[in-house]
Amino acid sequence: MEIKVLKNILGANEQIAVQNHQLLNSKGIFAVNIMSSPGAGKTSLIVETIKALKGRARIGVIEGDVAGSVDAERVDKEQVPVIQINTGGQCHLDANMVRNALENLPLKDIDILFIENVGNLICTADFALGEHKKIVISSVPEGDDKPIKYPMIFHTADAVVINKIDLIPYVKYDLQAFLKGVRALNKSAEIFQVSCTTGWGVEEWACWLLNQKTAGKSPF
Amino acid sequence: MHELTITQNILNVALEHARGAGAKKVGRINLVIGEMTGIVSESVQFYFNFIKEGTLAEEASLFFNIVPARFRCRACGTPFELKTDTSCPHCKASDMEVLSGRELFVESIEVD
């Protein structure tokens, strides 16, 4: 006997993601899921954004890594609440890990929550966490062909941040080709060019984030 | 790379529906997997052979319906696949919509 199922394989994850989203909304927290390859500058962008928004928004951070706590230690220096999740080999965060982390954060003291995902452009795209916005960082040294190689993550991004923009004179990188690739897959994503080393573009990105938080009261 | 999680979810969905139907065993699980999800079917198969032991699906086989990543140009309507360029092969516009390739679900199970 054949039984029709038609059930999403990640349905359980998505249910928890919806619960996370409702919890975040009830606490007035705007959550962003930060995704990129390893080394693109997720932690650097978070640290620079915390500095840029000092006095304007209270930040909290969930750090996702396969192992270790070096990123959490970097963020901790900025004196904001931070929780490290070690996925123990898993290549992405899932909604349940984020739920557990939320239980251990002082939610009443947070306006914007950064969820730094594991460095990976494939698996992270499949798992909703309950976030309000998905951000993809792609750095100049990685090359301009990332959108065509990882279409799913660029297709689903709400914003794309091109980091290490100060390195353009030194590496073979066609910015127009990259922008064209992103636009082909995603008409509406905001695109920012930043350098976390020089600070270039960070203010513009931080202001956009702040505006999204104010504008996006009920994003679902 | 997260195939073990995926495989566990597949097994859970299949077992839940088999139990709901009062089945004695699951013979076949039909899956629909889009190419853009990056799921490696060989790897799912590999994990499945381990985790199905001792369950109603112990003798079950997995069948994969792999859906290719297909795009359509919003300017001229030409459907195409993504190869080396993100422009439409027909009119060269860079504006596409995703037609298929994001699927990830258990379509049906066959039980006794």
- The CATH architecture that domain A11-215 belongs to is 3-Layer(aba) Sandwich (3.40)
Tell me the CATH number of domain B3-68+101-111, given options 3.30.2270.10, 3.30.70.270, 3.40.50.1100, 3.30.2320.50: 3.30.2320.50
Q: How confident is the model at residue A161 (pLDDT cuts 50, 70, 90)?
A: very high
Q: What percentage of chain B reaches a pLDDT higher than 90?
A: 80
For residues A81-109, give the mean pLDDT: 94
Residue B62 forms contact with A (CB below 8 Å):
no
Mean pLDDT for B53-80 is: 95
Residue with tokens 């998505």: A14
CB contact under 8 A, B18 and A5: no
| Structural element, H or E, at residue B34 | strand B26-34
**Model confidence over B16-40: pLDDT tens digits?**
999 999 999 999 999 999 998 989 9
Pick from B30, B43, B40, B45: nearest CA to B105: B30
In this prediction, residues A11-29 reach a mean pLDDT of 96
Q: Are A109 and A103 in contact, with CB atoms under 8 Å apart?
A: no
Out of A9, A126, A181, the one facing B13 most closely (by C-beta) is A9
The pLDDT tens digits for A47-68 are 999 999 999 999 999 999 999 9
Cα gap A138→A185, rounded to integer Å: 15
Q: Can you tell me the mean pLDDT for A132-159?
A: 96
How many residues in total does chain B contain?
Answer: 112
CA distance A74 to A43: 8
Q: Quick one: average pLDDT of A12-21?
A: 95
> Can you tell me the distance from the alpha carbon of A205 to that of A195, in angstroms, rounded to the nearest whole number?
11
pLDDT digits (tens, 9 = 90+) for A33-43: 999 999 999 99
Quote the minimal CA–CA distance from B110 to chain A in Å. Answer: 4
* DSSP annotation string for A52-91: HTTTT--EEEEEEESS--HHHHHHHTTT--EEEEE-TT-S
Give the closest of B17, B38, B105 to A123, CB-based.
B38
pLDDT at A219: 43
Question: Higher confidence at residue B76 or residue B94?
Answer: B76
Please name the residue of chain A whose CA is at the shortest distance from the CA of residue B7: A9
Position B83 pLDDT exceeds 90: no
Q: Is B99 helix (H, G, I), strand (E, B) or coil?
A: strand
> Given a cut of 60, is residue A218 above it in pLDDT?
no
Q: What is the mean pLDDT of residues B37-64?
A: 95
Q: Among B14, B106, B2, B3, which residue's Cα sits nearest to residue B60?
A: B14
Q: Check pLDDT > 70 for residue A193.
A: yes
CB atoms within 10 A of CB A20: 22
Q: Do B1 and A120 touch (CB under 8 A)?
A: yes
What is the pLDDT at residue A8? 94
Instruction: Say what the pLDDT of residue B57 is.
Output: 97
Q: Which of B6, B36, B82 sits opposite A9 (nearest CB)?
A: B6
Average pLDDT of span A10-26: 95
Res. A104: pLDDT tops 50? yes
Q: Model ipTM? A: 0.84
* Closest CB from B2, B107, B111 relative to A123: B2
| pTM, 2 dp | 0.90
- Mean pLDDT of the region A132-151: 96
Mean pLDDT (chain A, rounded): 95
Instruction: Note the pLDDT of residue B2.
Output: 81
CA angle A71, A73, A75 (to 5 degrees): 70
Q: Cα(A121)–Cα(A142) distance, rounded to whole angstroms?
A: 12
pLDDT at A89 over 90: no
CA distance A40 to chain B (A): 20
Higher-pLDDT residue of B52 and B36 is: B52
Record: contact B17-A7, CB cut-off 8 A: yes
Tell me the average pLDDT across A66-93: 93
Provide the pLDDT for residue B1.
57
Q: What is the CA radius of gyration of chain B?
A: 18
